[in-house]
Amino acid sequence: MTVPYALLGLLERSARHGYDLKQAYDLRFAGTRPLRVGHVYRILAQLVRDGQVVEAGVEPGAGPDRKRYAITGAGVTDLERWLAEPEQPQPQLQAVLFVKVVLALMSGRPADTYLDTQRDVHLARMREITARRRGAGQPEALLADYELFHIEADLRWIEHAAQRLDTIAASLS
């Protein structure tokens, strides 16, 4: 749901064609997962259909002509509404970790081994993000901080769960 609003925000700065939007998105928001060009054009088609974006001209290109897109007043209004709307806290990965621990305990499998392995993966990811953050500009560093704080929260939960495995296992019997 974030990508359409990111594209609206990029279009608010200036009218652009789809490939330029993809590059701008990848530069600012993609992190390790760039946006596919086809996805950009699907979203643009939806935004045009919904009246949030209009075709603002055509530019000749090396291949087919490239359509430029511009945000509409309705698009700006929707973007402003979305920006002002707080996001609900969501335990994304934590829910998966929780389910795996409970299922391991319910089945008599070693949940502590699973938690140890998960801790190692989290620590490795923290090292990757920290290395990426070192040479990053301010926006990229801020994104890295966001990712690091979430991983730290997961690690705290892993430690908490590991200390309580016997009690949790007993309550599931």
Residue 87: predicted pLDDT = 60
Lowest mean pLDDT of 66-70, 91-95, 128-132, 157-161, name the range.
91-95
pLDDT digit string, tens, across residues 42-53: 999 999 999 999
Both tokens of 101, joined, read 């621990």
- Cα separations in angstroms, 104 against 8, 98, 112, 145: 44, 10, 9, 32
Residue 164 CA to residue 70 CA, distance in Å, equals 55
Element (H, E) at 70: strand 66-71
- Stretch 4-14: mean pLDDT, rounded? 88
Query: Does the pLDDT at position 1 exceed 70?
Result: no
We find that the CATH architecture of domain 2-84 is Orthogonal Bundle (1.10)
Query: Does the pLDDT at position 147 exceed 60?
Result: yes
So where are the chain's domains?
Answer: 2-84, 92-172
Predicted TM-score of the model (pTM): 0.62
Mean pLDDT, the chain, rounded, equals 84
Residue 96: predicted pLDDT = 67
